[in-house]
Structure 1
Amino acid sequence: MKMNQTERRFDFHGLGLALKRAGEEKGWTQAYVAELVDRDSRTIMNIENKGQYPSFDLFVKLITMFDVSVDQFIHTDGGVRSSSCRKHIDVLLNSMNEKELFIFRFYE
């Protein structure tokens, strides 16, 4: 089955980074997260680092476990297509914590 040309593919890279950051903030390793969700640690690594799509069940487990909102990743451009460079910058900025944003702002 071919995807309709008007459909947007969900870019999972930003959410993968958010899940990675949330795990690091809790002090959890990929192996520990994998154990909690009954998956292989390579699966968690691929989701966090490569933007691999998880199954819906795993997706729900991860965002619930880390209390990560998906709205900012699904509705990133308000319906307007933006450049891939802009999307990458938005993902990086969204993954920064308050301290990192303050340091970034200091050097502007």
Structure 2
Amino acid sequence: MAKRPVPKYDFKAFGAAIKAVRTGRRESRKKVSDEMFISPRYLAKIENKGQHPSLQIFFDLMLRYNISVDQFLLDKPAGKDTRRLQLDALLDSMSDNGLQIVTATAKKIAEIERPQEMENT
């Protein structure tokens, strides 16, 4: 019996997203590899060549870097995108004082952007 032809998913965008967050956090490939019990070469291939990671490594990287699985696997993302997940993770680590500052800042940004949206419609 012949195998059903199935197109392989392109993991290049996922790898690029992982690399961007990892380097943004100033984490070395060696550090991440050691903590995840994988080889630096395996991580480099995921990041640079879009190698298909194992399901467990895919899941671990998604959680480690707050990357939205919807963003990469669905045509129309159902949940929060990666930037919102990463912002949520930052907010979760803030004190009440920090949250007040972020809330006030977000309100001011919304006030500034609201008139621009009205002009563009």
TM-score (norm 1): 0.63
Corresponding position of 1:12: 11
Structure 2 length normalisation: TM-score?
Answer: 0.57
- Contact 1:15 1:70 survives alignment (8 Å): no
Match of 1:46 in 2: 45
- Aligned pairs for 1:26-41 (under 5 A) are 26-41=25-40
Q: As a proportion of its length, which structure holds more helix?
A: 2
**CA-CA distance at 1:73 after TM superposition:** 1.7
Partners of 1:10 and 1:71 in 2: how far apart? 14
Following the alignment from structure 1 to structure 2, what is the Cα–Cα distance between the partners of residues 73 and 58? 15
SS in 1 for 2:53: coil
Q: Which has the higher contact order (CA 8 A, sep 6+)?
A: 1
CA distance in structure 1 between the aligned counterparts of 2:33 and 2:51, rounded to whole angstroms: 15
CA distance in 1 between counterparts of 2:70 and 2:8 reads: 15
In percent, how many aligned pairs have the same letter? Answer: 31
Q: Any gaps of 5 or more consecutive residues in structure 1?
A: 79-108
C-alpha root-mean-square deviation of aligned residues, in Å?
1.9
Q: Which of 1 and 2 has greater Rg?
A: 2
- Aligned residue pairs total 76
Q: Which residue of 1 aligns with 2:55?
A: 56
